[in-house]
Structures are given as C-alpha cells and as structure tokens.
Amino acid sequence: MKASHIATLLAAGVVAAIAAPGARADDKLTIGVSYQNLAFPYVAALQKAAQNACKALGVTCIEADAVNDTNKELNNVESMLTKGINCLAFEAASLEASVASINAANKKGVPVVQFNGKAGGGDYVSFVGSAQTDSGAKLGQFLEGLYKKAGKPKLRGIYLRGVAGQVTDIARNDGLKSYLNSAGLGDKIEFVEQYADYDRGKGQAVAESLLTKDKSYDFIVANNDDMILGALQTVNQFGLKIPMAGVDGLPEALAAIKKGQLAATVFQDPEGQGGGGVWGCYLAIKGVKLPKDLLIPFTLVTPDNVDNFVAIADRVYVK
Amino acid sequence: MSNEAAANGSRPFGVSIPALRDYGIYFALLVLIAFFSISVPEFRTWDNAILILLQVSVIGVIAVGMTFTIITAGIDLSVGSLLALAGILSGQFAQKDPTLLNMILAFAVPIGVGLIGGALNGAIIAGAGVNPLIVTLGTLTAYRGLVVWYRVNPIYDLQPYYRIVGQGTGFGLPIPVLILALVAVAAWIVLSFTRFGRYVYAVGGNREAARAAGINVEFVIFRVYVISGLCVGVAALMFTSRLMAAQAISGQGFELQAIAAAVVGGASLFGGRGKISNTIVGALIMGVLFNGFVMLDVSQPIQQMAVGIIIIVSVWLDGVLRNRRRKRRLRGRWALKGDGTGASSVPELGAGK
C-alpha cells in the first residue's frame, strides 16, 4: 500500500549493488520469470519491464509464458528449475492451481518472488503487486469528485464489469462500492451494471444497447480500459458527452485523456510490478530481507497529471 | 439434396411445404421481438431495430461463411483468430498516412488475409484429408499465436477515413448492415442458383454419391473454406473499423457465435442442410436476445443460460419437426423432392438452372 515500501526496495537494491561491486563479474545469476499470459498487452508490458530490469541488473533471465494454463505453467517452471535458476519471479495464472508451481520451486530450495498475480499458497519470499480493491476505490474517488462537481442530488451511470466471477472483477467492484459507502455516497450514486468480459467489442455493444434505451446517464465507468474505450466509440458515434473512466492506464486511454475524450483512468504500474519481480529476486539472492508484501499503489490519472504517466507507458508498453 | 429454390414443385397449392420447420425459426424471432417490445418500450424503436442489425452484422457475415462449411459437414473454428490477424494487418495500414496506396491496402489486406487463411484451411482439409474440426482447431490456435507474436499491443490511432466501413451510413442504414445484406444475398444466389451451390449440398449430403456423380469433392471443399475465409476478411474489416482499433485478442469466441447462428437457423452439423436466410434469422435471434436482455438489465450469467437453452431447444424442435415431416413423407402424403435434408442422394446434378 505504501509507496515508501518501493522506495525501500529500490534503495536496498542500490545499496546492495554498491556494496557488492563484484557481483556482476563473479557469479552469473539466472532468474526464471514465469508470466500468466503474454497475449494481454498489460502482461506484455510487465515482460518489457522485467526484461529492462534483467538488463539493468546484468542477470540472465529465462522467461516462460503459461498462456493462462496452469498445467503449462507447472511444466514451464519445472523445466526452468531443471535448467538451474537462482530465483523464480512468478506471476500466478490462478489462485489455487498455481500453488503447484511454487511448491515445485520450494522443493528445489529456489526462492520465489511473486508479482502482479499471487497464488493462494506455497512459500514465497515476497509479493510485488497491487491490491485490486484499491483500483476500485480509485474509481470511487473519481465518482466522488464527479458528484461534488455535478451538484445533483443523485447520479446515475453505467458500470461495465469484467468477467463474472473473476477475482480482479470482484475486487474492483468491492473496492468501488465500499469507497462510495464510506464516503456517504452509497445511495447517491446508482449503477446500471453489465458484464462485458473486459472486451472492447462487448463494451461497445453493451453501451450501444444501454444508450439507445436511455441517453441521460451521468457517467460510464469500467473495470478496465478496453471496455471504456469500446464504450467511447459508442458515445462519440451517438454524439454524447458523458464523463468516462476505466482502469489500467493503457497508452491509448492516456492519449484519450489528453484529448479530453476520457475523464480518467486508474494507473496500474507494470514497471513497478514486472521490474519489481526481477528486482525482488535479485535482492533475495543477495540476502536482502524483503517485506512479505510490497504493494504498489494505484493512481487516479486525470488531465492534470496524465503527462507523468505517459512517460512510464512509453517505456514499457511495446509499440 | 438441393435447397428450396432449386427444388421443383410437384407440391400441392404451389407453396413450400416445410412451413413449420422453416418458419419455426421466424416464429421464434417474432415471439422474442414481441416479448421485448412489450417489456421495454425503448426496444420497439426504429433506432433500436437498426442497432440490432448493426450488432449482428459482424457475426452475421462470419455465420454466412460458416453455413457453407457446415453444409459440407465441415466446420471452421479458426474464424475468430483469423479475424484478429486480418484486423491487425488492416490496422497497420489504416494507421499510416492516408495516401491512396495505404487506404487501398487498409481495405484490401484483410480480405486478402482472409482468403489466404481460408485457403490454407481448405488446402489442408481437402488436400490432406484431415478432419476439418481438427484442422481448424489447429489453425484457431496457430493463427492466434501468429497474431499475438506479430503484435501484442492494440493499434488504435487509425486514420479517420477508416471509420467509414464500420461507422458510416448509406441509404439511411449503417454500412455494416448493407454489407451483411450484400454478403447474404450473394451467398444465397451462389447456394441456390449455381452449379457450385448444388455441389456444396451434394458433397454434404452424401459425399460418396457426389464423388460417384463426378463432382470434384476436394475442390468443392477447398472452395468452401476459401469462402469462409473471405467472409472472415470482410468481417475483420467491419469489426476493426467499427471499433476503430485492431487488437490481437479480438474475435475470441466468434466461432461459437457463428456456429450457433447457423445451427439455430437449422443447419445440420452432419451436412447437406442449411440456408443463408435461416442463418441470418439465427444471428438475429442471438442479437435480439443480447440487446433485449441488456435493455431489460438482465445480468450476463442469466443471458448465457437463456442463450444456451435456446440453442438446444431450437435444434431439438427442429429435429422433432423434421422427423414428423419425414414420417408423413414416408406415408406418401406429400411428394417432396429436394428438401435439403440431405437424406436423398444426388439427383439432377448439373441440371443447371
């Protein structure tokens, strides 16, 4: 949750790097990095950040893609362990089934640092990621600001949910609703909710149907940027002006904020997460004691601060 | 073996007999429309009718191609992945400066990619004689892998002109709706009035008999997958332009939606039977359900259950009605010929009309 944790991590890293000047020369470290599914742009960005960290640290990184398949994930991890790795940076593909991969590393005595996605068991050194409820809370913060500006007793809007039953979707929903409740807005902000599977095309189609029925919505929010960008096509095509916000901070969403088409997005930091996984591994090998959870905060991106995030996005999102 | 239009008519009253079966699906569509019209006032507006047509246009075009493969007792599972591949490659040109060459490429490349992807499917299925389910399951994975490997990040800064295909209008209708109409009519003509169309039904109805009658079965099958690929290419262009973004993850699950449209429309997975008009109605049923449910604020899990049940019931009902009809036919009540059930062998080949 605290940014100071990352600062600690990085500071410790710098200290370790300075304290052990011969580290790069004397032993060639190998870090295994296992990703959930590289077909997602966000995971591809994690990969770019991890690769940048590998380069910066001068370690060899072996990478593997689980393609959302925990069986493949286990096979990947086992073959990395056979090849010989000093640490496993691991992005769990599933809450339960990914525990097997961590157990495999535990058995070989290889330390595990988890990043972005965390499995529900197994021994690990540290988790570098974000609390997804926090991203929902940031959407809530956006709506709170909107409510204060609107000067209406009640706001009514569309909430595009992700995949029904999926962990992140539930967490973001919980975060949003509980933020609004604690801000005393639980009964003042009303949602029409539909799942759109995190999919841009479905976000567009759902928005089309809902806005054909009723064009008077005060806002549209979504549990990821893809859906809000799909809805944006509809809003533009219908010639409407509705404040809209998503979650992720895709370069495209940032560009839309700069153009004034989107009101906000919630930035999830691939550099901190992907890079943090490799950094955490490096420090663990060097014997630095790491906190169990290194939580990277989400940030609400608005036209006021969007420029700060464009730079990060440019570094890690593959063009 | 052939379809309605090609059937000739020793029929009483000069009307098509399979009324119940063929019109059962129209009836189902009307019931759904009536239900939503009563439940949601905004549903029964002209704007919403147009919107539903727009929302089914992409899947509709894919389902037209799918109908060809299903009639030959085949299937094309690769459509969604091929759509993503064609879309990304189209997007690459749509992103560049709008020179004439880039504009032509942005529109032509997805069609070309669709044709090539379809030809590859067809060549393996017809040439190597491998089961289409396996081949297109393979290319579903391979095409997806190719496009993700080629470019994982979406292309979004497409030039404004590119909007025309997906978001433009003509004759007061969205362009995608006009494209769907054009594709459907063309496919209907091919299936109903050409020798190739009759071969397609013949190959699906009884492959060995078709072969014995001198049809180049392999070449027919090859062309059917090229047609499916072509439809996917057109759909990719519509989809990418409608969304004004090309994504490597686009089109996941489209194969199931297209198959559902064709099957709800009465196409038989065993081949020999299927009609373009019914496939379009099948797609419309799916579209009306989606639109109506969203307007009614029905949550997605319930939508999914309803769609699943409707697929099963419609196919079951179709089977029941067809059985009854077959029994009647056996009793000699009607002299039916060329009903497209695939039960008959291959008469009137080459009897070009």
Of B62, B215, B41, which Cα lies nearest the Cα of B126?
B215
Structure-token pair, residue B57: 């246009």
B10 reaches A (C-beta below 8 A): no
Which runs of consecutive H residues, i.e. helices, occur in chain A? 3-19, 23-26, 41-57, 70-83, 99-107, 132-150, 167-182, 200-213, 225-237, 251-258, 270, 276-285, 306-316
pLDDT digits (tens, 9 = 90+) for B206-229: 999 999 999 999 999 999 999 999
Give the torsion through C-alpha atoms of B112, B113, B117, B120, to 10 deg.
50
**Residue B53 to residue B59: CA distance in whole angstroms:** 11
**Residue B43 to residue B49: CA distance in whole angstroms:** 8
A262 reaches B (C-beta below 8 A): no
**Minimum CA–CA partner of A197 in chain B:** B300
Residue contacts between A and B (CB atoms, under 8 Å):
83
CA distance B228 to chain A (A): 21
Given this model, what pLDDT does residue A188 score? 95
Burial code (b: 16+ CB inside 10 Å, e: under 16) for B307-325 equals beebbeebbebbeebbeeb
pLDDT digits (tens, 9 = 90+) for A50-71: 999 999 999 999 999 998 888 9
Global pTM?
0.83
Which runs of consecutive H residues, i.e. helices, occur in A151-250? 167-182, 200-213, 225-237
pLDDT higher than threshold 90 for residue A101: yes
**Residue A297 to residue B311: CA distance in whole angstroms:** 45
Place of tokens 């940076």: A89
Query: B245 to chain A: which residues are within 8 Å by CB?
Result: 200, 229, 252
pLDDT digits (tens, 9 = 90+) for B26-47: 888 999 999 999 999 999 999 9
pLDDT digits (tens, 9 = 90+) for A17-57: 444 444 444 468 999 999 998 888 888 899 999 999 999 99
How large a percentage of chain B has pLDDT more than 70? 86
Using an 8 Å Cβ cutoff, are A221 and A143 in contact? yes
Of A63, A3, A12, which Cα lies nearest the Cα of A289?
A12
pLDDT digits (tens, 9 = 90+) for B268-312: 889 999 999 999 999 999 999 999 999 999 988 899 999 899 888
**Residue B5 to residue B189: CA distance in whole angstroms:** 10
Of B172, B168, B177, B154, which Cα lies nearest the Cα of B59?
B177
A192 reaches B (C-beta below 8 A): yes
What's the pLDDT band for B20 if we cut at 50, 70, 90?
Answer: low
B40-44: list long-range contacts, CB under 8 Å, 24+ apart: B40/A213, B40/B292, B40/B295, B40/B296, B42/A212, B42/A213, B42/A214, B42/B295, B43/A213, B43/B291, B43/B292, B43/B295
Give mean pLDDT, residues B310-337.
69
Tell me chain A's radius of gyration from C-alpha atoms: 21
CB within 8 Å: A230 and B243: yes
Using an 8 Å Cβ cutoff, are A157 and A189 in contact? yes
* Optimal mutation site among B48, B95, B153, interface A, most CBs of chain A within 10 A: B153
**Residue B92 to residue A219: CA distance in whole angstroms:** 32
A64 has which bridge partners? A34
CB within 8 Å: B167 and A237: yes
> Which has the minimum average pLDDT: B14-23, B30-39, B143-152?
B14-23
pLDDT higher than threshold 60 for residue A106: yes
A67 reaches B (C-beta below 8 A): no
Given this model, what pLDDT does residue B13 score? 44
**Minimum CA–CA partner of B46 in chain A:** A212
A12 reaches B (C-beta below 8 A): no
Given this model, what pLDDT does residue A319 score? 63
- Compare CB distances from A210 to B156, B294, B300 and report the shortest one's residue: B294
pLDDT digits (tens, 9 = 90+) for A138-182: 999 999 999 999 989 999 999 999 988 888 899 999 999 999 999
How large a percentage of chain B has pLDDT more than 90? 74
Using an 8 Å Cβ cutoff, are A302 and A143 in contact? no
Delineate the domains of chain A, giving CATH numbers in brackets.
3-130+269-297+309-316 (3.40.50.2300), 132-267 (3.40.50.2300)
Query: A212 to chain B: which residues are within 8 Å by CB?
Result: 42, 45, 47-48, 51, 295
> Which has the minimum average pLDDT: A73-77, A118-122, B336-340?
B336-340
Given this model, what pLDDT does residue B321 score? 74
A177 reaches B (C-beta below 8 A): no
Residue B65: phi, psi to the nearest 5?
-65, -40
Given this model, what pLDDT does residue A93 score? 85
CB within 8 Å: B243 and A164: no
- Name the pairing type of β-strands A112-115 and A244-248: unpaired
Q: Where are the domains of chain B?
A: 44-280
pLDDT digits (tens, 9 = 90+) for A118-132: 888 899 999 999 888
pLDDT digits (tens, 9 = 90+) for B87-128: 999 999 999 999 999 999 999 999 999 999 999 999 999 999
Give mean pLDDT, residues A215-219.
96
Given this model, what pLDDT does residue B21 score? 58
A208 reaches B (C-beta below 8 A): yes
pLDDT higher than threshold 60 for residue B347: no
Of A186, A133, A119, A97, which Cα lies nearest the Cα of A298?
A133
pLDDT higher than threshold 80 for residue A4: no
**Minimum CA–CA partner of B92 in chain A:** A319
**Residue B196 to residue B186: CA distance in whole angstroms:** 13
> Phi/psi zone of residue A197: left (φ > 0), alpha (ψ -120 to 50 degrees), beta?
left
Given this model, what pLDDT does residue A312 score? 86
pLDDT higher than threshold 60 for residue B153: yes
What's the pLDDT band for B80 if we cut at 50, 70, 90?
Answer: very high
Given this model, what pLDDT does residue A5 score? 53
CA distance A1 to chain B (A): 29
pLDDT higher than threshold 60 for residue B189: yes
Using an 8 Å Cβ cutoff, are A34 and A90 in contact? yes
CA distance A194 to chain B (A): 6
Query: A204 to chain B: which residues are within 8 Å by CB?
Result: 242-243
Mean pLDDT score of chain B, rounded to an integer?
Answer: 87
Query: A67 to chain B: which residues are within 8 Å by CB?
Result: none
What's the pLDDT band for B142 if we cut at 50, 70, 90?
Answer: very high
pLDDT higher than threshold 60 for residue A277: yes
Structure-token pair, residue A17: 């790097």
CB within 8 Å: A41 and B245: no
Which of the two residues, B330 and B342, has the higher pLDDT score? B330
**Residue B245 to residue B92: CA distance in whole angstroms:** 10
**Residue B74 to residue B77: CA distance in whole angstroms:** 10
pLDDT higher than threshold 50 for residue B338: no
Residue B127: phi, psi to the nearest 5?
-70, -50
Give mean pLDDT, residues B246-252.
94
**Residue B276 to residue B263: CA distance in whole angstroms:** 11
Give the torsion through C-alpha atoms of A217, A221, A227, A229, to 10 deg.
80
What's the pLDDT band for A221 if we cut at 50, 70, 90?
Answer: very high
B153 reaches A (C-beta below 8 A): yes
Given this model, what pLDDT does residue B24 score? 79
What's the pLDDT band for A276 if we cut at 50, 70, 90?
Answer: very high
CA A163 centroid distance within chain:
16
Burial of A76 (C-beta count, 10 Å sphere; 0-12/13-18/19+): buried
Given this model, what pLDDT does residue A16 score? 47
Q: H or E stretch including B216? A: none
Structure-token pair, residue A32: 């295994």
Give mean pLDDT, residues B144-152.
93
Q: Which amino acid is at B164?
A: I
What's the pLDDT band for A8 if we cut at 50, 70, 90?
Answer: low
Query: B152 to chain A: which residues are within 8 Å by CB?
Result: 38-41, 44, 318
CA distance B166 to chain A (A): 11
Using an 8 Å Cβ cutoff, are B110 and B87 in contact? yes
Given this model, what pLDDT does residue B329 score? 66
CA B289 centroid distance within chain:
18
A75 has which bridge partners? none
